[in-house]
Structure 1
Amino acid sequence: MMKKVLVTGGAGFIGLNLVNAYLKDGYEVVIVDNLSTGKIENIPTGVTFYEEDIRSQNFIEIVKKEKPDLINHHAAQIDVQYSIHQPVEDGSINILGTLNILEAARALKDEMDISLIYASSAAVYGDPVYLGIDEQHPIQPISYYGASKYAPESYMQIYHDLYGISYSIFRYANVYGIGQDPKGEGGVVSILVDKIVTDSLFTIHGDGEQTRDFIFVDDIVSANLLASKHPINTVCNISTHTKTSLLDLLQIAEEIIERKIETVYQEDRPGDIKHSYLLNEKANQLLNWKPQYSLKEGLAKTIQYYKEK
């Protein structure tokens, strides 16, 4: 029997990649997105779409009506700087929104088995005490965004203990790839690709020595597809286990496009951590998952796509 998945945030960056993969895999797909950052043109034919906020009572009614086997929850407020200026709205979307999704799942639990996938973030760890960061690393977010991504993890574990709702929680490293919007909190790779395509100045905040763990969106999708079939009822990092500095990222991009990228330096931004990379052994053990793309391969695919577009 065909499985049905409801993707929150399905018109956004990771969401659109997930939706296409689910369709290819034979799932029936329902998207719920309020289009605050998602785009209507990202929604493919062959899906059921509701323009709705995950915090609404309507959302619970949608879940009761559609009866998905799985809710893949990627709707979120993801801008660190926005969270610092608007902590209440950030918490409302990320914490109360997820709670509403859990309540919707609980409303269905008597009728059918339903499982959840929740997209968390490396931001929950804050400034690393040690590198690479494993799942036992202390939780000490330095932004409201990090706090608002962590709180739902606890709720999800308690809903599992109380009501038997299966779940998988993924703490993502820095995701990049096709479909990412360079505007707003686009992520450094999407901003860089945009500057390459438009041949404009790329801004480096700080000295450029800050490091991140950059993971291609196709690798994120493959982890989600595995957890869709086998919920792990725990949390794990989805990462490349590799640290790359901003200056290294620039150099790799310059090798791909075979020219220099013009840069300008500005001061560090508040709430940004200096160094980060995540271990991924747990995902390998529980899901038999490994990233398939090097940064150069993923970046080349992304640049090529936007150049042709």
Structure 2
Amino acid sequence: MKITLLGGNGFIGDYLAAKLKKQNGCELRVVGLASQASNDYIQMDLSRPNERLRPLIDWSDTVVILTRDDIKIIDNLLATLTAREHPIKIVYLSTLLVYPDSDLPQDENSPLEPRTDYEELKCVEERKLLWLMAENSFCKLCIVRMANVYGDIKNRGVINSLFQAILTSALFEINSPGDSTRDYIFIEDAAELLAFLVLWPQNLSHEIVNICNGRAYSVQEIKQIAEMITGVKINTVSGPSVLEKKKIIGDNKKILSLSGYRMKHDLRQGLKKTLHSYKKYFNLEV
């Protein structure tokens, strides 16, 4: 199988590429904006038309979209894909944040209720790709709605900020009021399940699948677990209030049923491994 990862040199892409390279019969191409020395890496600005994109898409059996949220990237990809006549599978990385604010786990049939610009853009990109699938019978689409992924220094989320504060004795900023809860998944579990969907012989023309843990934690709860693991009291400062949903939890029954996978990390186990990664990065004792 010939697989192209668009935006594949980022946090999730690094782990996904490592998983796929271990699979027999997989040929991999990774596309990113930054310069990188590798035989399977292609430097390309996907937000601009590029004549090198068409032969790359023609070469691919599956294209995985891991790029930053940018409608220009999706539009350029759509223009290239509509000219293709051979079967292709598209795997698009979306987010659980498109679901409504709710105390209940949201499954793949839940309505979408975007609130922020980021959430709205993800919904727009999903709709554009669904249009492509509807207009082109050769195309199969798998939309992956991902929980908050953590576990490595490349991650730029709240857990990254937390461990940076622990290891550099910096203040940890918590945006007011700080009681929102999110579904978090460790990067090794996320990459394992995403690799499954990339390789999965999908029968239907389109699928929507959550990748998540099915449990939500607040920033305060994560902070308390991190303090227990590290033995370090984290000094905090209140940040500005932000527009965000109070509670987002995904329902992971579908992906676990399809894959037969059992989650290997709860939040405490994942944070322990995360601490190990950060200590290695900062050249501290591990």
- What TM-score, normalized to structure 2? 0.88
Q: How many residues are treated as equivalent by the alignment?
A: 276
In the alignment, which residue of structure 1 is the partner of 2:284? none
Deviation at residue 177 of structure 1 after TM alignment: 1.6
Question: Which residue type is aligned with residue 127 of structure 2?
Answer: S
Unaligned runs of 5+ in 1: 78-92
Question: Which residue of the other structure, out of 266, 273, 281, is the alignment partner of 1:301?
Answer: 273
2:180–2:219 Cα contact (<8 Å) kept:
yes
Distance between the aligned counterparts of 1:62 and 1:300, measured in 2?
43
Aligned in 2, Cα 1:98/1:287: closer, same or farther, shift over 3 Å? farther
RMSD: 2.1
Distance between the aligned counterparts of 1:302 and 1:107, measured in 2?
43
Aligned pairs (5 A) from 1:262-277? 262-269=235-242, 271-277=243-249
Could you give the per-residue CA deviations for residues 182-235 of structure 1, whole angstroms, max 9, x where no partner exists? Answer: xxxx21011111112212111111243221111111122112211122236211
1:32–1:54 Cα contact (<8 Å) kept:
no
Distance between the aligned counterparts of 2:122 and 2:222, measured in 1?
27
Question: Which residue type is aligned with residue 96 of structure 2?
Answer: A
Deviation at residue 53 of structure 1 after TM alignment: 2.0
Deviation at residue 7 of structure 1 after TM alignment: 0.7
Question: Which residue of the other structure, out of 127, 134, 143, is the alignment partner of 1:161?
Answer: 134
Moved over 6 A (4+): none
Aligned pairs (5 A) from 1:1-309? 3-26=1-24, 27-35=26-34, 40=35, 43=36, 45-58=38-51, 60-64=53-57, 67-77=59-69, 93=70, 95-108=71-84, 110=85, 112-125=86-99, 127-164=100-137, 165-181=139-155, 186-230=156-200, 231=202, 233-269=206-242, 271-309=243-281
Deviation at residue 286 of structure 1 after TM alignment: 3.4
2:93–2:146 Cα contact (<8 Å) kept:
yes
1:177–1:299 Cα contact (<8 Å) kept:
yes
Deviation at residue 176 of structure 1 after TM alignment: 1.0
SS in 2 for 1:116: strand
Deviation at residue 63 of structure 1 after TM alignment: 2.1
Could you give the per-residue CA deviations for residues 264-285 of structure 1, whole angstroms, max 9, x where no partner exists? Answer: 123321x322221111112223
Question: Which residue type is aligned with residue 76 of structure 1?
Answer: R
Deviation at residue 54 of structure 1 after TM alignment: 4.2
- What TM-score, normalized to structure 1? 0.82
SS in 1 for 2:94: strand
Question: Which residue type is aligned with residue 172 of structure 1?
Answer: M
Distance between the aligned counterparts of 1:179 and 1:253, measured in 2?
16
Aligned in 2, Cα 1:17/1:179: closer, same or farther, shift over 3 Å? farther
Distance between the aligned counterparts of 1:159 and 1:288, measured in 2?
30
Unaligned runs of 5+ in 2: 282-286
Range with bigger deviation, 116-125 or 26-35? 26-35
1:54–1:101 Cα contact (<8 Å) kept:
no
Deviation at residue 287 of structure 1 after TM alignment: 3.6
